[in-house]
Amino acid sequence: MILIWKDKKEKAEILQSRVPVTYAVDFEVPDDVKEGYITTDGKNLTYRIRLSAFEKIKKTSKYDIEKKKTDLKGVLHISEVKKANIPLSRFEIDSKGKAFSGFAITEEAKLDPEMKAVQKTVMDSSARKIIDDYSPRVKIPYELAAKLAKLKEDLPKKEFDSLMEKVQKELDKRFIDPYEAVGIIAAQSIGEPGTQMTMRTFHFAGVREMNVTLGLPRLIEIVDARRTPSTPSMEIHLKTKFAKSQQSVMNIIKKLENTTINDVADIITDTAELSVTVRPVPARMKERLVDFSDIEAALGKATQMSVVKDEEKNELTVKPQQETFKRLYQIQEQLKTMSIKGVPGIKRAIGRIDEKSGEWLIFTQGSNLRGVLDIEEIDAYNTTTNDITEIAEILGIEAARNAIFKESLNTLQEQGLEVDMRHLMLVADMMTFTGSVRAVGRQGISGRKSSVLARAAFEITTKHLLRAGLMGEIDTLTGVAENIIVGQPVTLGTGSVNLVYKGVTRKE
């Protein structure tokens, strides 16, 4: 079980600076709770804590800091406070759609069967024993060790030892030789099937009305680290208690879809009167589940304009406070994109039943990961987006690395092309190992090589050579391209070994 409570940011910072610390609070905690989180905004868990003990408060109790002056019920003995960034939706807390403001004893949201299986495999003691006993040189993967652990129970020791020798030999075969040109092999393995896709995949395909870029255009987007994909989309999973109900899914879709005034009304500009008329279209309003009052409320939040309601014509007239043609045009453009409801960036959302799990999934046109994760009914564990830059900003660089690998693997598999996943892992690692997502081209990895000749051989030759001459750069000729240019063996494979002959003098 896990303790979660809302607190001021200043108090949390004080606790972090003074650990170990005793903290008097206005709630009680069961003895078996040893871990907790503090939220400062009611939506994200910003600090993680470790509890060494909890005691009920007495008149004689001593503590370092108190949460408030009155109604204190207990003292937390905090041994560790670290910063975190975890969405509150990851935990089973019913805050009725509002920001969390109290305290709760809860547990993490339930994992899906596949995640449970992986977690069980990793924690299985019999699998760990096989790894420790039979892999002195090569570490056996957890998934393989779990399968072998089941076989160990059925096979005699002699047969099992013979099986382990074969496993060891097969694992040895799959290891890369020292000084292997892994980059070149990965480039060939991805590039060759990539060119095969060219003739048949310059199109869009998707789920019902949802268009998703596939094939070579999508692969280019990924390796170029485009800031925004051409067709951003999300696959939204729901918590178990909402995923079976169609009505719940429809309600969540209403929350997600971002509806603007332009989606449900005609916007008519009158230059003679210097005004803009918003005329709602009933059919479009019904389709988007919007009332006239919703449009009125959205316009009411706008500044530097006056809104007049016409009851008879059932329309709204907007006039700028500063009566100029420029300001009138600005208001017209502002009204087109003014949001009435929903998550900004989510243009469209549809529900579909997943064939494997039998649960509802929601697919969106447009992406806003932070906004979607704030919705209480969303399963934060499994919800994904195809916008890799957004994943890096919100979930971190490791999540972005996994997203690059997953997206590129899915793109190739959708075309029926098989590429060893380790080549794609290498590309994902190279794009993210500096802590930010970098493109493979001249704006990223290739354009920032340490070798002057390698950069010049790639693109914009004269610029690189001129800059290197002005800056006095030195090329140590350790890579592939630069050694080929100067006509000497590359430092890979046998070329990476230097043989030195040392003569031996005979004694007379």
In this structure, the answer to whether residues 119 and 135 fall within a common structural domain is yes
pTM value is 0.64
Look at residue 398 in the predicted model and tell me its pLDDT: 92
pLDDT at res. 426: 93
Task: Tell me, yes or no, whether 118 lies in a domain.
Answer: yes
193 part of a folded domain: no
Q: Is residue 297 in some structural domain?
A: yes
| For the chain, the helix, strand and coil percentages under 3-state DSSP, each to the nearest 5 | 40, 20, 40
Same domain, 98 and 61: yes
Q: What is the pLDDT of residue 397?
A: 92
- Domain extent at residue 325: 259-341
Order of strands across the sheet that contains 275-280 = 265-270, 275-280, 315-320, 305-310
pLDDT at residue 113 in the model: 47
Helix axes 142-154, 125-134, angle to 10 degrees: 90
- What pLDDT, on a 0 to 100 scale, did the predictor assign at position 114? 46
Pairing of strands 74-87, 233-237: unpaired
The Cα–Cα gap between 460 and 438 comes to 19
Identity of the amino acid at 498: N
Longest dimension (CA), the chain: 123
Q: What separation in angstroms does the CA of 309 have from each of 140, 270, 313, 341? A: 72, 16, 9, 20
Ranges in the chain, pLDDT < 50: 110-116, 118-123, 199, 201-208
Please give the pLDDT value at position 425: 93
Residue 299 within a domain: yes
Predicted local distance difference test score (pLDDT) of residue 208: 47
The per-residue pLDDT for 205 is: 47
- The Cα-based distances of 21 to 12, 39, 62, 77, 79 in angstroms read 11, 18, 11, 6, 7
Question: Which residues lie across from 267 on neighbouring strands?
Answer: 278
Q: What is the pLDDT of residues 342-393, one digit of tens each?
A: 888 888 888 888 888 888 899 988 888 888 888 888 888 889 998 999 999 8
Is residue 309 assigned to a domain? yes
- Residue 63 and residue 153 in one domain: no
Q: What is the 3-state secondary structure (H, E, C) of 59-123?
A: CCCCCCEECCCCCCCEEEEEEEEEEEEEEHHHECCCCCCCCCCCEEEECECCCCHHHHHHHHHHH
For residues 7 and 99, state if they share a domain: yes
Number of domains in the chain: 4
In SS3 terms, 341-381 reads as ECCCCCCEEEEEECCCCCCEEEEEECCCHHHHHCCCCECCC
pLDDT for 216 equals 80
pLDDT of residue 124: 62
Could you tell me the two tokens for 411? 């793109």
Q: Does 72 lie in the same domain as 126?
A: no
d(CA 232, CA 388): 10
Same domain for 20 and 57, yes or no, is yes
Does any domain span residue 248? Answer: no
For 276, the enclosing helix (H) or strand (E) is: strand 275-280
Note the pLDDT of residue 405.
94
Any domain includes 439:
no
pLDDT at 423: 92
130 shares a domain with 156: yes
- Answer whether 213's CB lies under 8 Å from 199's CB: no
Asked which of 106, 132, 149 is the last residue of a domain, the reply is 106
In a domain, 96, yes or no: yes
